[in-house]
Amino acid sequence: MSHLLEVKDLKKHFPLKRSWLGASTGRVHAVDGVSFHVERGETLSLVGESGCGKSTVGRSILRLFDLTEGEVRLDGERIDNLSPRQLRPVRQKLQVVFQDPFASLNPRLTVREALAEPISNFESGVTSEAMQSRVDKLLDLVRLPRDAGRRYPHEFSGGQRQRICIARALASKPKLVICDEAVSALDVSVKAQIVNLLQDLQDELGLALLFISHDLGIVEHMTHRVAVMYLGRIVEQGTAQRIFAAPKHPYTQALLSAAPGNAKAGKRIVLKGDVPSPVTPPQGCHFHTRCPYAFDRCRVEAPRLENQGDGHLAACHLQALPV
């Protein structure tokens, strides 16, 4: 059977705005050849520093814009080349929860109306009684009281609003939900509640999650697998257990060593310099300009994601990293 989601050699380059002199000034290599898959009922977390291309991967899958290159398959079917009309049934299977629940909800709709909208968009002939019970069930699923349906988004806290967004995403009975920094704006305790809710929903509904986050701490205990991005590419991928216990790539090692509250982190690894511009990414390995172990080959040849054992993938020319 095919993977639920399969992304192959995805590239998304944005043209830079023309300067006032009218000269074109290059392209932003936001995503530069990314491949991964998500299984049914699985959580894959996409992590990395701000600007590394995580949201662009999510938005490409959702086809919020056309891809520069690559293929995206959902349930075995190619979805990257579909017309807007052909995409409609795909959107039913594929939903998204964004960071800002206030911006995602129409302030003029009651919660009940907001939850009914996607149901009537995707299904025709739903009677008002059936709609009532569907909306009640959605509120139950996200642990909100049923009378919440009569109220408006501004009457809720940030965490409750995010529950409403999750319920809205679940209304079309999707197979995959992309959570793009879905808990990043919430207080620590609320963050944990929403993460727990997502895990419960995954168990109850067999849902798959693509969890996009720059917060490694939140990811560690809730994800099955992790893909680490750096400057538009995946540099390491594996089970959460392997990535957090024994990261192979120097970038992942540095990222984990700097993660707040990471008790396992030994000495903090401080990387030299800044992340290079995605307009002119370095030749060879994108990370070589900051890598403490870089050697000649890294400057000319981009390393491929190679299996390091047990499906743990790392894109690094160093076969055995110094401990």
Ligand X SMILES: Nc1ncnc2c1ncn2[C@@H]1O[C@H](COP(=O)(O)OP(=O)(O)OP(=O)(O)O)[C@@H](O)[C@H]1O
Interface residues toward ligand X, by CB under 6 A: 14, 28, 30, 48, 50-56, 214, 278
Pairing verdict, β 225-230 and 43-47 = parallel
Residue 227: partners with Cβ closer than 8 Å, 6 or more residues away: 36, 44, 45, 46, 47, 234, 236, 237
Residue 56 contact, options Mg ion, ligand X, none, Cβ 5-8 Å cut-off depending on partner type: ligand X
Nearest distance from residue 215's CB to ligand X, in Å?
10
Nearest residue (CB) to ligand X, 167 versus 178: 178
Region binding Mg ion by CB under 5 A among candidate stretches 19-27, 47-55, 238-246, 266-274: 47-55
Binding flag, residue 56, Mg ion (CB under 5 A): no
C-beta closer to Mg ion: residue 182 or 291: 182
Segment contacting Mg ion by CB under 5 A, of 49-57, 131-139, 255-263, 265-273: 49-57
253 touches 265 (CB < 8 A): no
Handedness of CA 315, 317, 320, 321 (dihedral sign): negative
CA 293 → CA 229, 297, 304, 315, distances in Å?
19, 11, 17, 14
Judged by beta carbon, residue 51 or residue 89, the one nearer ligand X is 51
139 binds, among Mg ion, ligand X, none (CB under 5 to 8 A by kind): none
Q: Which residue among 43, 55, 202, 237 contacts Mg ion (CB under 5 A)?
A: 55
- Using a 10 angstrom Cβ sphere, with 0-12 exposed, 13-18 middle and 19 or more buried, the burial of residue 269 is middle
Cβ–Cβ < 8 Å for 247, 236: yes
Q: Looking at beta carbons only, is 28 or 285 nearer to ligand X?
A: 28
Which residues sit at the interface with Mg ion, rule CB under 5 A? 55
